[in-house]
Amino acid sequence: MKRIKAALEPELVLSTANALVAKGDSLELLRKLPAHSVSLILTDPPYHATKKRNIYGDTAFTEDQHYLDWMAEYAVEWRRILRLNGSLFCCCDSSMSARLDVLFAKNFNVLSHIVWTKPNDPGFDGWKGKMKKEALRQWYAHSERILFVGRRSNDVERFYAAADVFLLPTLYEPFGLVILEALASGLPSIVSASAGACELLQDGVQVMLLRNPSDGDEAQAALRFLMSRPEFAAALSANGRLAAEALQWQAVADRIISASTLPARPNRQMHTTDREAIYSPPG
């Protein structure tokens, strides 16, 4: 916060211990912010698609590409100022969401789309009238989107290197390669027992298992226990690394081949009847 305040000092109109308000061109203000200084960005730019004069900035662009080029300038700055684990929520019109999705994918990891609508009083776009069943087709045309994206990185190992603990309270995970990634990075890990990978890991030896991933108190207690016992955390880290090394792709492939290979049956002949393959008994 101190670095951001120093960067925006001349344009600040309000400054408190927890908030800063600056006045000026938003793009120019963004360019003044320090790199990797923001954890969360919530933005509601002009939608461009509605073309309504009562919405500020919505008629500023004569062509769609002009609007997209303008948003691309912001995307570059948003990525620059976001921390490695930062997130961005951007409101947009449903008719532009796909094109913005492609645009953001150049700089971010697009995580999800949130579709929503807000019924207003009659007279303001007539939203309430469009909520009747017979008008659903019109109503959905007035739904809006929020794009949820995270900072894109091709060197995910930097995230693990910057972490002290790996916590995954997942409700369901068929396996969870992210668990092996964390273990291979030497991170002491707290993982939901419902994750498939935990069938190959021992509680208290390679990982700490959460019996109820929905229980925040259990996760909090596990974190406190781990952080207060550095020797135990170091043992988890070392054992977890060894477990991950034993589960490299070649080892996994060898186990699958071993489990799926059946002994050959001698003198086996195949006859085809009614499109079914039948094996005659030996001899």
Domains, the chain, with CATH or none? 35-151 (3.40.50.150), 157-260 (3.40.50.2000)
Percentage, residues of the chain above pLDDT 90: 49
Contact status, residue 275 vs residue 266, Cβ threshold 8 Å: no
| Maximum CA extent, the chain | 95
Cβ pair 181, 215 in contact under 8 A: no
pLDDT in tens, 46-79: 888 765 665 566 677 888 899 999 999 999 999 9
Complete DSSP assignment for 223-240: HHHHHT-HHHHHHHHHHH
Q: What is the pLDDT of residue 113?
A: 86
> For residues 197 and 83, what is the distance between their CA atoms, to the nearest angstrom?
29
Residue 164 has pLDDT above 80, yes or no: yes
Angle, in degrees to the nearest 10, between helices 216-227 and 230-245: 100
Q: What is the pLDDT of residue 136?
A: 46
Among candidate residues 109, 107, 101, the one with its CA nearest the CA of residue 146? 101
Mean pLDDT of 33-50: 88
| Mean pLDDT of the 20-49 span | 92
Highest mean pLDDT among 103-117, 133-147, 269-283: 103-117
Q: What is the pLDDT of residue 208?
A: 96
pLDDT at 217 over 60: yes
User: What are 229-276's pLDDT values in tens digits?
Assistant: 999 999 999 999 999 999 888 888 888 888 876 565 555 444 444 334
> Could you tell me which residue, 264 or 172, shows the higher pLDDT?
172
Categorise residue 202: left if φ over 0, alpha if ψ from -120 to 50, beta otherwise.
beta
Are 108 and 88 a contacting pair, CB within 8 Å? yes
Concatenated DSSP letters of 91-135: EEEHHHHHHHHHHHHTTEEEEEEEEE-----TTSTTTGGGGSGGG
CA dihedral 111, 151, 227, 191 (to 10 degrees): 30
